[in-house]
Amino acid sequence: MKRTWVGMLVAFIAMFIMLVQNGASADNPKEDVAAAAAEAEVANPAKPAGKVTVQVDKTSLDNGGTITVTGTAPMGMPVYIEVWAEKQVRVSRFDADVDKETGQRPYRLYMTHEMPAYYKMFVPKEQKDKIDAAKKEDSKWSLSKVLKETGAETVYSAPAKIKIDRYQATLLGSIIGSRGTLLDPMDPKENKKRSMQLVKVRFRDVDKVIGANVQMNPDGAFKAEIPIREGLAPGAYKIVAFVDKDTKSDPVTFENKINFPTIYLSNAGTSLNIFLPFFLTLAVACFGVLMGAGGGFLLNPLLVSIWPLPHTIVAGTVIPTVLFSQGSGIYNYSKIKFINWKLGVTIGLSMLAGAFIGPKLTEMITLAQFKFIFGWILLVLAALMFWQTMPAYLEKNKKEQAILREFQRRAKESAAAKVATAT
């Protein structure tokens, strides 16, 4: 009974921390939004020639929705609209692809903490076929290619200037778990190129990064229905319309609000309804304990598939959830002297070394590689479980379990006897 109470207490503390964090993240300056919107409207009636103006039909959304952007641009020029969130997240990409010029693998890690939690480029509706073509390339699509083909390359700007650190990884460095040596900052052109690769890592699909939504009239007026998905970051979002690199509108701001039970995961850059991962974890962990394999095997692939969560975050967050149950398990076994410390610590030290390296490797692989290797691990586990349901194994296991219970009974008796003599 005592254990139940401890468990409940921990659960409540955890819930409390969560609520406090949510409250803090939902607190956003609203005045800025209104001021920026007013500014944009003031700017609009003037309609100076050669300038781009833009306005929005609403300044606030409730966990996604559609915003209608209208504006004017010089006649006959294609209009591109960039929308991004002010909240930023971390993205990393390990570059081990063969360099076309030198023929060598660079083994460099690119990492930024300034990737907008939401970014999307909207291009004229006429460019839809180019985006569809990129979609057909499946996971091999390239953002720089799509931007070039749709003519949006020169106006791609919000993520272009983010600060990207690059590390030169070495084999030895990776083994001891170091990111490698930090290299000099990149020039703006290189930074832009690398930022496009990071945008792809972050948002995964063509659809999420680029859309053909801008409807243009011959007189230079344009209109775009901009869909903002559910589950995005809360806070201020900026909209800027471009006709080319230097001709652009002033930024217009709107705010995306989220309310409990939807909360924002600041490290993962995603908002979600807390009850969904809660019940998913509960169901998967229950099943995991029943099948004797822990929940991580099922939970991790589901988390990366259902939500746009980075695999590094998923792996790093699922591991510590088992610490409590492992700790109490060890405590219970040690009470009845059911642990051989020499054996456990010897193998444990080799596992300690392995676990030092593993988390470093997580950020060196892509989501696709993560899924591929995880797929094989699950198949091996399935084979292992299948073997454990074979008659020969069951027969042997029956005897083993009987001996195990006998030993546990004796161990408990001896522990109880010791307590009795001590008191």
Partner 1 sequence: MIVEFWGHEFKVNVVLGCVGGFIIAVLSSMFGFGGGPFMVPLMSVGLGLPMYVVVGSSLLAIAFNSVMGSLRHLQFGNLDWTLFAIMFPAAIMAGFISPQIAKRVSPIVVKRVAVVGLCLLGLKLLGVY
Q: Which of 314, 304, 99, 112 is nearest to 198 (CA)?
A: 112
For 119: left if phi > 0, alpha if psi spans -120 to 50, otherwise beta; the answer is beta
Q: Considering only residues 123 through 182, tell me which ones interact with partner 1, judged by CB under 8 A.
A: 177
Q: Which is nearer to partner 1, 196 or 263 (CB)?
A: 263
Tokens of 172: 């030895």
Identify whether the C-beta of residue 225 lies closer than 8 Å to the C-beta of residue 213. Answer: yes
Question: Could you say which of 80, 122, 141, 297 contacts partner 1 (CB under 8 A)?
Answer: 297
Identify whether the C-beta of residue 201 lies closer than 8 Å to the C-beta of residue 363. Answer: no
Nearest-approach distance from CB 248 to partner 1, in angstroms: 34
Q: Does 323 bind partner 1 (CB under 8 A)?
A: yes
Q: Which is nearer to partner 1, 218 or 292 (CB)?
A: 292
Question: Could you say which of 182, 306, 352, 416 contacts partner 1 (CB under 8 A)?
Answer: 352
Q: Which of 80, 51, 72, 88 is nearest to 153 (CA)?
A: 80
Q: Does 23 bind partner 1 (CB under 8 A)?
A: no
Q: Does 313 bind partner 1 (CB under 8 A)?
A: yes
Residues in the chain: 423
**Stretch near partner 1 under the rule CB under 8 A, chosen from 94-102, 200-208, 220-228, 340-348:** 340-348
**Stretch near partner 1 under the rule CB under 8 A, chosen from 50-58, 148-156, 215-223, 267-275:** 267-275
Q: Which is nearer to partner 1, 15 or 75 (CB)?
A: 15
Q: Does 291 bind partner 1 (CB under 8 A)?
A: yes
Q: Which is nearer to partner 1, 74 or 231 (CB)?
A: 231
Question: Could you say which of 354, 419, 420, 423 contacts partner 1 (CB under 8 A)?
Answer: 354
User: What stretch of H or E contains 166?
Assistant: strand 164-168
List all residues 6 or more positions away from 178 whose beta carbon is below 8 Å from its beta carbon.
Answer: 360
Q: Where are the beta strands (DSSP E) in 249-343?
A: 252-257, 262-265, 270-273
Q: Does 417 bind partner 1 (CB under 8 A)?
A: no
Q: Does 351 bind partner 1 (CB under 8 A)?
A: yes
Q: Does 58 bind partner 1 (CB under 8 A)?
A: no
Q: Considering only residues 246 through 265, tell me which ones interact with partner 1, judged by CB under 8 A.
A: 263-265
**Stretch near partner 1 under the rule CB under 8 A, chosen from 62-70, 209-217, 246-254, 294-302:** 294-302
Q: Considering only residues 268 through 287, tell me which ones interact with partner 1, judged by CB under 8 A.
A: 268, 274, 277-279, 281-282, 285-287
d(CA 112, CA 98): 22
Nearest-approach distance from CB 129 to partner 1, in angstroms: 26
User: What stretch of H or E contains 197?
Assistant: helix 188-203
Q: Does 24 bind partner 1 (CB under 8 A)?
A: no
Q: Which of 70, 73, 109, 115 is nearest to 90 (CA)?
A: 115
Q: Considering only residues 68 through 127, tell me which ones interact with partner 1, judged by CB under 8 A.
A: 90
Residue whose pair of structure tokens reads 């409807």 in the numeric block? 215
Nearest-approach distance from CB 146 to partner 1, in angstroms: 22
Give the pairing of strands 262-265 and 252-257. Answer: unpaired
Which residue type is seen at 335? K
Q: Does 416 bind partner 1 (CB under 8 A)?
A: no
Q: Does 363 bind partner 1 (CB under 8 A)?
A: yes
Nearest-approach distance from CB 47 to partner 1, in angstroms: 45
Does residue 159 have a cis bond before it (omega within 30 degrees)?
no
Q: Where are the alpha helices (DSSP H) in 336-390?
A: 341-362, 367-387
User: What stretch of H or E contains 172?
Assistant: helix 171-175
